[in-house]
Amino acid sequence: MTDQHAGVKAEIICVGTELLMGETADTNSGWLATKLPEIGLELQWISIVGDDLTRLTDMLDRAWRRSDYVFTVGGLGPTLDDLTRDAIAKMLGEPIGVDPTLEKWLRDQFSRRNLPGGMPAQNIRQAWKIPSAQGILNSMGTAPSWWIERDGKVLATLPGPPNEMMNMWNTEIAPRLKQRIAASVILARTFKTIGLGEAAVDEMVRDVYDMPGIVLGCYAKPDGIYLRAIAKAPDESAALRALLAAEERIRAALGPHLWGTDEETPQQRIGPLLKERGYRLAVLESCTGGMVAGAITEVPGASDYFIGGAVTYTNESKVAAGVDVDIIRAHGAISRETAAAMAKAACNTFGADCGIGVTGVAGPSGQEGKPAGTVFIGVAHPGGITVSEHRFPGRRPLVRARSVAMSLLELGYALKKAGSTQPAG
């Protein structure tokens, strides 16, 4: 990963023994890390600490002394091992007690749920507050956040469940930060690529690093390499000009490897392409094990254009789904020919206009004389059949994730190239 930034110091502390034990993966700090530069904060430390009052208090004290903005994630539940509130109170030397406004809101939450016995007594802990904290109601859960401004610094607490954390950040914490850090305007855009390594992307946009007011970060993600451009200027107009100038160079440099921006996903791209043509889609998957179908159905309304599919993990299941056994015998299960046959069989078996066939070596070991990471993707559509061969990094989760993204992108490329707007008769 490469990055450049100079800003106000920020720190993230994730709380929970389950994170240290490996029982729960910390996805929250990674998500927050992508959001801080957009506001003008330089993230310098990310820490994970267990549910221990002494260690958590020490961690908070160190963060409070060295950082301008401190964000805690987790430890806001009702149980005795949810200690974030206690540790902050101890670190700042402030008394903690029940806030009447938070208590009323909390009791109302439980009342609306019609739970037997009402609110458990233990949940009153979530209504605790210290004098310097503002309570922020949680629209998706029962754990309010705190916003603390003291000694020229800010400390904000965020709930641990990712959906609650992201909602709290987007609706409450980020707007407060933007109001407080108003000396400059920061705009950002993420450019998403596939088919290139991190170093290659970085090299291709090298001259953009020298553009005034622009900061770049290059990151490896499951569905490709992301490039984030951040523009910082005294006003929005200047920031937008800088960002658009950088975008023009980035698009020219990355060319066909650039497939999307910001929150866009491959599965979101194919829906409109299929719907405007009146096409319906089916899939046959081998190495992706149903992940392509899973990605497609993440989009609401996918039933308008997606019929279904099958996981054909063995040669026998491929044949049962309509793949000619002679093709597999002659070329192997992992081949251009089999990928094409799978795409065509998806159409025939499910009565679809378009079909995707994915076969490959997910790893870690090779298969049929082909190394891990070798993937063939077949796309059938009314204009014909296309097959592409890919060599992804040979790590199983990465091979599968990149195969999903590429299969959907290949469908999009094929439909755009065909240019047809009417389904086959």
pLDDT digits (tens, 9 = 90+) for 167-217: 999 999 999 998 888 666 788 899 999 989 899 999 999 999 999 989 898
- CATH assignment of the domain containing 43: 3.40.980.10
**Residue 233 pLDDT greater than 90, yes or no:** no
Rounded to whole angstroms, the maximal C-alpha distance in the chain is 77
Query: How many residues does the structure list for the chain?
Result: 425
Least confident of 84-93, 234-243, 248-257: 234-243
Confidence of residue 420 (pLDDT cuts 50, 70, 90): very low
Are 170 and 220 contained in the same domain? no
- CATH assignment of the domain containing 309: 3.90.950.20
pLDDT of residue 251: 97
Mean pLDDT of 302-316: 97
pLDDT of residue 3: 37
How far apart are alpha carbons 164 and 55 in whole angstroms?
A: 25
Least confident of 38-42, 119-123, 290-294: 38-42
pLDDT digits (tens, 9 = 90+) for 259-283: 999 989 999 999 999 999 999 999 9
Number of domains in the chain: 3
pLDDT of residue 1: 37
Are 251 and 332 contained in the same domain? no
The overall average pLDDT reported for the chain is: 93
Are 361 and 214 contained in the same domain? no
Cβ proximity of 58 and 47 under 8 Å: no
CA distances from 150 to 92, 132, 267, 370 (A): 9, 7, 45, 61
**Residue that terminates a domain, selected from 161, 180, 199:** 180
Share of the chain above pLDDT 70, in %: 96
Cβ proximity of 247 and 389 under 8 Å: no
Are 284 and 154 contained in the same domain? no
Q: At what angle do helices 266-277 and 396-418 cross, to 10 degrees?
A: 30
Are 13 and 137 contained in the same domain? yes
Are 198 and 245 contained in the same domain? yes
**Residue that terminates a domain, selected from 261, 288, 307:** 261
- CATH assignment of the domain containing 210: 3.30.70.2860
pLDDT digits (tens, 9 = 90+) for 104-138: 999 999 988 887 888 999 999 999 999 999 999 99
Across-strand partners of 87?
none
**Residue 245 pLDDT greater than 60, yes or no:** yes
Residue matched to tokens 């709380």: 15
pLDDT of residue 362: 96
Classify residue 171 by its DSSP letter: I
Range of the domain at 357: 266-418
Are 159 and 189 contained in the same domain? no
Residue matched to tokens 């954390």: 165
